Amino acid sequence: GAGVSQTPSNKVTEKGKYVELRCDPISGHTALYWYRQSLGQGPEFLIYFQGTGAADDSGLPNDRFFAVRPEGSVSTLKIQRTERGDSAVYLCASSLGHGGTEAFFGQGTRLTVV
């Protein structure tokens, strides 16, 4: 696609429910990142994929969070037993390589846990 696409743009869920957030990166970009951003803060790193594998998942806050990228393109971030503290904007970014290359961000998914 022309840019990074994230769906849904907004998601409201009840505490304790399961949610899936989808990211469709720019075609050909091997690196894919998930970030979480709270109001007035910079993006907080969650996980990084190089191809199909999670190269670095050190940012995932706990085992309720999981992400996959089975075919090296689309990625899904999965959150189990959601908590109110999970409310944030979840940003996905992709780049041609890892490190010193420009990352292109999607518009984000605003997750609200009530």
| Binding residues for other proteins (CB under 8 A) | 4, 33, 40-45, 48, 56, 91, 98-100, 102-108
In the bound complex, what is the minimum distance in angstroms from residue 20's beta carbon to other proteins?
A: 20
Q: What is the biggest distance separating any 2 CA atoms in the chain, rounded to whole angstroms?
A: 39
* Nearest CB to other proteins, comparing residues 76 and 107: 107
Amino acid identity of residue 83, one-letter, is: E
- Which CB sits closer to other proteins, 13 or 107? 107
Q: Which residue has the tokens 């990352």?
A: 103
The H or E element that residue 104 is part of is strand 104-105
Q: Smallest Cα–Cα separation from 113: which of 77, 65, 91, 81? A: 81
The smaller minimum CB distance to other proteins, of residues 66 and 104, is found at 104
